[in-house]
Each structure stands twice: as structure tokens, then as C-alpha cells.
Amino acid sequence: MRLTRRTFLASSAACLAAPAVTGQARAQVLVVGGGAGGASVARHLAAEAAGAADITLIEPNAVYHTCFFSNLHLGGLRSLESLAHSYDRLRGLGVTLISDRVAAVGRERRRVALAAGGTLDWDWLVLSPGIDFVDDSVPGWTLAAADLMPHAYKAGGQTRLLRKQLDAMPQGGTFCLVAPPNPYRCPPGPYERISMIAHRFTQVNPTARILLLDPKEGYSKQTLFEEGWQAHYPNMIERLGPEMGGDRVEVRPDRMEVVIDGEVEKVDVCNVIPGQVAGRIIGEAGLADETGWAPIDPASMKSRDDPAIFILGDAAVAGDMPKSASAANSQAKVVTAVLLAEISGNAAPPARYVNTCWSLIAPEDSVKVGGTYEPTPEKIASIDRFISQPEEDRATRLATWQQSLGWYAGITSDMFG
């Protein structure tokens, strides 16, 4: 019989759970998704498990382009190549790399099916699949339209495409960004993108117009962004929030038009960042709730529905923590500690989480927001918070920029070695 997702899941559900690791030579840990969460778990577990576990990372891309800092490429401040990272060092640590996608998760039998064929068994499964997009969350836009109106919210080819479109814009043309509804990956991301594109336009297209269509009443670092836009890009950026039709938007990709509360606006480039849910494998495995995201145990990042599965990063319902690379990397440290404890039969240390989100408004004018978090029975809760302040002096903003560069070097090294 040919193996399909349906027959795979049916056969898995009919079997008893796999035996515990006790008595086996090595634990089998599968990590799905090689971003800030998954790659960090794979690397740290390989370095610290001391031969007690076989770690397999399943990731379809041989090279990972970071979404974080990708806005700087759109602004002309970084090359796309500088955002590309390979998994070669993970292989050197003993991580088995499989360039494929997971087609199905058989939870009862603890087995995954791969898209290219074949299956893998696991004792623990770590899911860090990031996000997928909600078709028609912006009426008229589906993933099939991304070649015309790119999302560029998964870095790589889409980032390159949007940069190419921006560079080809006519002088004095209009760029439109349709911002997503909450919740979504990287709360300040769309607004840093506006900043970086505005910076690029000041260099190559100073009479260009930027139209920001936003369904939300407010957004992360709003005061800081708007202060920066007034200082660096006066009269270039127009934001229409819900009171001005920003929540009543339709797009027509084949005509390069946006319709705002019934009024048609012709644009030259349109970046649609649609509504988001957890990466598709979360829903298909029955691990998402009605919101489309995955509930987790705040103390361990284990799925609320399956204690043998960890879910971290953007896909998780992480309480007060935002969906960011920094948050995913911090969650990966907790997951690694819990896995090491369970493999060895010891108790895991108390979980503690941190996050910092950096945003560049203009060259050497960077702002940040972040905090520390701890688990409660209900959620990962904020216990301390910090944010850049309006009207900071240039030295402070420059220092924040330099800190962000150190953070990028540090987190990518933590992910990939």
C-alpha cells in the first residue's frame, strides 16, 4: 500500500506509544525547523548531550537566510549573502541533517513521515516550524500572488524579489506596505521595514511616497518609529490606521492596485504581510488551538497536547513573549535543559526567558525593546521590561546599533556554531 499522510496517521494512531528511552543506548531526538529555535536546540543538545542522544535536524533549506536583519538588505545596508548561514558546523558536531519537509507526524507511534519518502522514529520531537500565511487575510491576496506582491516575511528569495521591485520603482512612485493583524512574527518588523525602505529612497528615489496600511490601532515602538520618521523622512510616510480604512483593504495584484475602504489606489510596489498562523505541521499534527497557534507548558515548552513534543519559537503561544528570533533562541535554551534532564533522569533547572527586539530607524539610529520572563501555570509572564526612550541622544542610539550588531553575531554563532 502506498504511504500517504492519511494512511500514515491512521496506522500510527492504531499503535501503542513507543517505549520509554530507559534501557536504550541513545535517545532519538528529532528537530523540525532550522531557524533560531530549532538550530539552537540541535547545536546545544549536540554539544551537551555527551553521546547520550542522536540528534537529527530536518530542514528543507541547505542555507538559512535570517529574517532578522533582512530589512537592512531592503534598506541597502547589508548584502543578502551576509544574512546566509549554512548548517555545516552542526554536522561537525554530530547532528544528522536531512534536507526535506515533514509530511506527517504520527504522535502515537512517535514517527514522522518525510515528504520525499521514508519515516523516522523519535523519543522526543522538537517542532520549530515558524509561521505560515493565512490566504485571503488580505482580500485578493493569496500565496500564489507573492511573485507580484511579495510578503518577504520569510527571508531569501522573497527578500531579493522585493528589493528588486523597489530598485525598479519609477522616480516619485508609490510603495505600499499592508501590515498584518496581531499576532504575527516580529512585532516591530513591518515598521523597521518602512524605516529601511524610506532610508533607501532618500538615497535613490527621494520623491517616492510610502503608504502604510495598518489594521491595528497601535504597534510596537510606535512613538519611537514616528519620532524617527519625522526626523529622518519628513513627508515621505503616510500611515492609515483602522480609523482611516487601514483595516478595510483589498488588493488586486494583477493590476497593482489597493482598494482602501472602497477607494482604488494605484501603486508601483506593494508588500503584503498577511495574517499568520503556526507552521502548517502544527495544525496537521493536531497541536494547534482555535487561534492557529500551539499552546505550550510555560515551564518546559512542551505541547499542552503531547508531553513528548516540544514547540518553540513563532509557532508557540508563549504568553507575554513576542514572536522573535531572540525569544526563540531563549526558549531553545530551556528546551535543551529539559531534554538533557529527561535523557539523564535528572530534574531540569527552573525556566527563565529573555528577549530583545532591535529596530534600525536610520543608519546608526537604533532602538530596542525587551525584557525577562518566567513561567506561571497560565503563561510565560513578563517580570521586567525595558524600551528605548524618545529623544535619546545620538551616542545612545549609536551604542544601541553597535549592541545589535554584536547580538546578530552572537545569535547566529549560537545557532550555527
Q: Give the tens place of pLDDT for each residue, 198-221.
A: 999 999 999 999 999 999 999 999
Q: Is residue 409 part of a domain?
A: no
Strand partners, 56: 30, 96
pLDDT band at 21 (very low <50, low <70, confident <90, very high): very low
Report whether 372 contacts 349 (CB < 8 A). Answer: no
What pLDDT sits at residue 190?
A: 98
Average pLDDT of span 309-321: 98
- Using CA atoms, how far apart are residues 409 and 417, in angstroms rounded to an integer? 11
Q: Give the tens place of pLDDT for each residue, 368-377.
A: 999 999 999 9
Domain boundary among 237, 257, 272: 272
- CA–chain centroid gap for 246, Å, is 24
Q: Give the tens place of pLDDT for each residue, 79-118.
A: 999 999 999 999 999 999 999 999 999 999 999 999 999 9
Q: Look at 3-7, 140-144, 354-358 and tell me which has the smallest mean pLDDT.
A: 3-7
148 and 267 housed in the same domain: yes
pLDDT band at 51 (very low <50, low <70, confident <90, very high): confident
302 and 216 housed in the same domain: no
213 and 116 housed in the same domain: no
Q: Taking the model in full, what pTM does it have? A: 0.93
pLDDT band at 12 (very low <50, low <70, confident <90, very high): very low
Average pLDDT of span 251-257: 98
Does an H or E element contain 56, and which?
strand 53-58
238 and 201 housed in the same domain: yes
Q: Is the pLDDT of residue 345 over 60?
A: yes
204 and 289 housed in the same domain: no
Q: Is the pLDDT of residue 17 over 60?
A: no
The residue with greater pLDDT, 136 or 55, is 55
Residue carrying C-alpha cell 513591518: 190
Q: Phi and psi (nearest 5°) for 352?
A: -145, 140
Report whether 250 contacts 258 (CB < 8 A). Answer: yes
What pLDDT sits at residue 50?
A: 77
Q: Is the pLDDT of residue 2 over 80?
A: no
Task: Collapse the DSSP code of 13 into the 3-class scheme (helix H, G, I; strand E, B; otherwise coil) and give the result.
Answer: helix
What pLDDT sits at residue 270?
A: 98
283 and 268 housed in the same domain: no
Beta strand 263-266 with 269-272 is: unpaired
216 and 302 housed in the same domain: no
- Using CA atoms, how far apart are residues 394 and 375, in angstroms rounded to an integer? 37
Average pLDDT, the chain: 94
**Prior bond to 183 cis, omega within 30?**
yes
What pLDDT sits at residue 138?
A: 98
- Using CA atoms, how far apart are residues 330 and 354, in angstroms rounded to an integer? 6
* Nearest partner of 212 among 240, 193, 245, 250, judged by Cα: 240
Q: Structurally, how many domains does the chain consist of?
A: 2
What pLDDT sits at residue 24?
A: 54
Q: What single-letter DSSP state applies at residue 82?
A: G
Q: Is residue 364 part of a domain?
A: no
Cell of 109: 507511534
285 and 257 housed in the same domain: no
Cell of 366: 537604533
256 and 211 housed in the same domain: yes
Average pLDDT of span 175-191: 98
Report whether 99 contacts 80 (CB < 8 A). Answer: no
Report whether 311 contacts 296 (CB < 8 A). Answer: yes
Q: Is the pLDDT of residue 7 over 50?
A: no
Q: Is the pLDDT of residue 145 over 90?
A: yes
17 and 114 housed in the same domain: yes
Domain boundary among 319, 348, 377: 348
Range of the domain at 38: 5-60+100-130+279-348
Does an H or E element contain 229, and which?
helix 222-232
Domain boundary among 256, 272, 288: 272
Q: Is residue 77 part of a domain?
A: no
Burial of 384 (0-12, 13-18, 19+ CB in 10 A): exposed
Q: Is residue 168 part of a domain?
A: yes
* Nearest partner of 120 among 136, 140, 102, 137, judged by Cα: 102
What pLDDT sits at residue 14?
A: 34
Q: What single-letter DSSP state applies at residue 18?
A: P
Residue carrying C-alpha cell 547532528: 95
